[in-house]
């Protein structure tokens, strides 16, 4: 018995489209789908990987909240977003965290072609009210200044591969004012050892989302000697290419994968605890803020600090300088 299916139409899988010359042409559906997927991928690449992870986590939290209450998360009503923010604030979420959740909800809606409910006055007023009630001052982590770094290094074993790695990571992270994501992204190919010290190529950073690249210099030093520590680690580990800071198994076996950004924070906290400090007051950012604080205390200009930290805003750096100089030439020094 003959098949009842209609004969295949070679034109059925084609979609009419306009060429660059303005002519009408037929393009396979698969091509349109592939190009659409590529467009979505490029749109996602608009944000840094860490930002995308944070947005994904934030929106999943919002979606779960909406599902539990039987309301839509995409597209969402402004009153739904406002209620979500109030609920999060009541459970202890900080204003900075809520602002990121709002950004995640806005991003998800725009990416999906919906008008963002976050620009509605109901949402904005709720967020302003939370800020007014809860306050907006962020919890500052303690800077790991030069003195603190010296204390941490006293706790680092020099007879193990892990110890050599941790020593080099602490010193390089501090001396280059690295963000933790930048530190773990470094490869041997990014390093150039020169007579005066080290030149480091930072391929991508928070302030360089388009990957134009930035370069900083790290001197040999006379006290902490970061370049020497880095050479010692690379030689001991036999690393001549690929990631600089790698995972090491519990048995002491060196892996090929780079450490995660979270691992930097754990290393800083671990040695802070061994040094008798409060580990919860330190984080991966303590290395970066520690260099800037130490530089400001030593009298380095804001512009020299910017050469290392790669800040685009002077206002952020002025904060470090101001804190470092709070007790210098104090107005009450002569009579208090």
Catalytic residue annotation: 179, 206, 285, 288, 311, 320
CA dihedral 256, 201, 50, 38 (to 10 degrees): -90
CA 189 to CA 195: how far, in whole Å? 18
Q: Which residue has the tokens 């450490």?
A: 259
CA 118 to CA 274: how far, in whole Å? 45
Burial track 217-237 (b if 16+ CB lie within 10 A, e otherwise)? ebeeeeebbbbebbebbbeeb
Structural contact between residues 208 and 215, judged by C-beta atoms closer than 8 angstroms = no
Structural contact between residues 116 and 105, judged by C-beta atoms closer than 8 angstroms = yes
CA 271 to CA 100: how far, in whole Å? 31
Structural contact between residues 206 and 309, judged by C-beta atoms closer than 8 angstroms = no
């Amino acid at each position: 018995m003959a098949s009842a299916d209609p004969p295949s139409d070679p034109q059925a899988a084609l979609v009419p489209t306009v060429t660059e010359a303005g002519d009408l042409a037929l393009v396979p559906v698969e091509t349109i789908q592939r190009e659409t997927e590529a467009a979505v991928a490029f749109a996602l690449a608009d944000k840094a990987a860490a930002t995308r992870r944070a947005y994904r986590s934030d929106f999943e939290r919002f979606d779960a909240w909406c599902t539990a209450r039987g309301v839509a998360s995409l597209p969402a009503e402004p009153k739904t977003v406002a209620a979500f923010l109030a609920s999060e604030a009541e459970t202890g979420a900080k204003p900075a965290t809520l602002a990121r959740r709002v950004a995640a909800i806005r991003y998800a809606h725009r990416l999906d072609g919906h008008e963002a409910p976050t620009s509605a006055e109901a949402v904005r007023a709720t967020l302003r009210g939370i800020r007014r009630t809860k306050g907006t001052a962020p919890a500052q982590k303690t800077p790991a200044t030069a003195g603190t770094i010296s204390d941490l290094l006293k706790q680092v074993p020099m007879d193990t591969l892990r110890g050599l790695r941790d020593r080099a990571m602490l010193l390089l992270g501090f001396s280059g004012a690295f963000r933790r994501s930048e530190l773990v992204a470094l490869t041997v190919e990014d390093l150039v050892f020169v007579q005066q010290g080290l030149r480091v190529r930072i391929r991508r950073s928070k302030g360089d989302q388009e990957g134009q690249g930035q370069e900083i210099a790290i001197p040999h030093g006379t006290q902490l000697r970061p370049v020497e520590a880095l050479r010692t680690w690379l030689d001991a580990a036999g690393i001549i290419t690929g990631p600089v800071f790698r995972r090491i198994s519990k048995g002491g076996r060196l892996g090929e994968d780079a450490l995660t950004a979270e691992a930097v924070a754990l290393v800083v906290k671990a040695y802070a605890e061994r040094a008798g400090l409060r580990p919860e007051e330190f984080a991966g950012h303590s290395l970066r803020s520690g260099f800037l604080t130490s530089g400001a205390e030593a009298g380095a200009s804001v512009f020299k600090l910017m050469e290392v930290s790669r800040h685009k805003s002077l206002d952020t750096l002025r904060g470090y300088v101001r804190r470092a100089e709070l007790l210098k030439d104090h107005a009450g020094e002569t009579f208090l």
